[in-house]
Amino acid sequence: MDELPHHAPVPVPHTSVPAPEAADLLTWYDRHRRVLPWRALPGETPDPYRVWLSEVMLQQTTIAAVKPYFAKFLTRFPTIDDLAAAPEEAVMSAWAGLGYYSRARNLHACARAVAEAGRFPDTAASLRKLPGIGAYTAGAVAAIAFDRQEAAVDGNVERVMTRLFAVETTLPAARPEIRALTQALVPADRPGDFAQAVMDLGATLCTPKRPACALCPWMAPCRARALGLQETFPRKVKAVKGTLRRGAAFVAIRSGDEAVLLRTRPPEGLLGSMAEPPMSPWEPDYDPAQALLDAPLDARWRRLPGLVRHGFTHFPLELTVFVAKVALSTPPPPGLRFTPRRDLDEEPLPGVMKKVLAHAFDPKPEAAEPLAERAAKRGRPKAMRSLTDTPLFAEPEPEAPAASPRFRPVPKPAPRPAPAPIPDGSIDEFEGPAEAAPPAAPRRRGRPRSR
């Protein structure tokens, strides 16, 4: 039988699928809603502080990563007034590790503005006037905390809507269209639950790969599924990877208390207001051989093997780490400070700086392996990759000093038959059990003959 020719999916007219209904999604949400630390339970009134704090933390960050930070923040700053009254260093320290540190500075500024006003604004337009609150956060807080009929469009919602309506425009250009489509679906009743329902749908069923369409409450009206192209949405412009940058980090450790020399980065720009050991510039053509020209003080700097690698949104980074031990009496250079090792957890150290300090205190030997050798080992069988290459004309290793002479043991001879009884009165009479063997005959002198 001749094989039928393969054809692309036939476009399905928009009139052939029903319109999506918010009620269908809310019915699904009532059964499958996720329980999250910042989400009010059914019947509870949402706390605007918790809603706002969680939405800021969840930007560009996963729920699993946010949960411990959210709990830590509520312990240190139970109310927005507590957060507003805290020093910026304490806020940055509590945020350290979540990334995108401009969010922490804006969070603190926003808390001060709300504390000064006496309450949170309750509309999306007024929320957008606060520091660090954009269209998404304003819509989410207005809908969830104040039950306003507003759309909250995050990455999950973008994926759901582009599939639901088969939006061909690529991101980020498609965002105004996606917002308009989402806003048109927001019901007047339970808009906060609707916002969270769309987020849950994107996170649990309408996932980037292998979406569980058969379980989706919007399976029938989904145009992308009708076309058989659900996994191809949203359309995106391929991201261009940034140029690799290199630099050097200088970890000066003070004798006695193991205090580390640190400084605070400028408030504006990448990792603003965060703590770090002194750094060189990060440049594509940075030469580590000239790094000591960027050292913060005169010391016996030792270059550690290996590199500390970190990926930022727009570029990857490789840092060479230099370590020096300095005297307890060493004064910190202007603008720098010594922080005892036991107090480092209180410093607002971002993830890349924690990697640098971990490498300084505990260098990993495997990191020292040259890149060429690692590449060569990739072609070996797995069982041989741990073997170190030996140069062809390597000098022989010195032999270990000779140990004391050892002799091979000689097997014990079989016992001889017992002699005949000795007559009474003999001076050689043997006293003992009848079955005991007589004394062994004297051995000849000399080294035993080996067998």
Query: What amino acid positions are annotated as catalytic residues?
Result: 55
- Cα distances (Å, whole numbers) of residue 361 to 221, 324, 445: 58, 11, 63
Count H helices, E strands: the chain?
14, 7
* Under 8 Å between Cβ of 230 and 202: no
52 backbone dihedrals φ, ψ, rounded to 5°: -65, -45
Residues 6+ apart with CB under 8 A from 404: none
The residue assigned the tokens 């300090």 is 357
- Cα distances (Å, whole numbers) of residue 33 to 106, 150, 180, 386: 30, 20, 25, 49
Q: How far apart are CA 403 and CA 218, in angstroms?
A: 81
Q: How far apart are CA 175 and CA 153, in angstroms?
A: 9
Both tokens of 170, joined, read 């690529």
Both tokens of 60, joined, read 């560009």
Q: Which of 191, 181, 352, 325 is nearest to 265 (CA)?
A: 352
Question: At CB < 8 A and 24+ separation, what contacts does 402-408 make?
Answer: 407/447, 407/448, 408/448, 408/450, 408/451
Pairing of strands 316-326, 308-311: antiparallel
Start-to-end CA distance of the chain, whole Å, equals 82
Q: Is the dihedral of CA 394, 398, 400, 405 positive or negative?
A: positive
The residue assigned the tokens 């960050």 is 61
- How many other CB atoms sit within 10 Å of the CB of residue 357? 22
Amino acid letter at 371? L
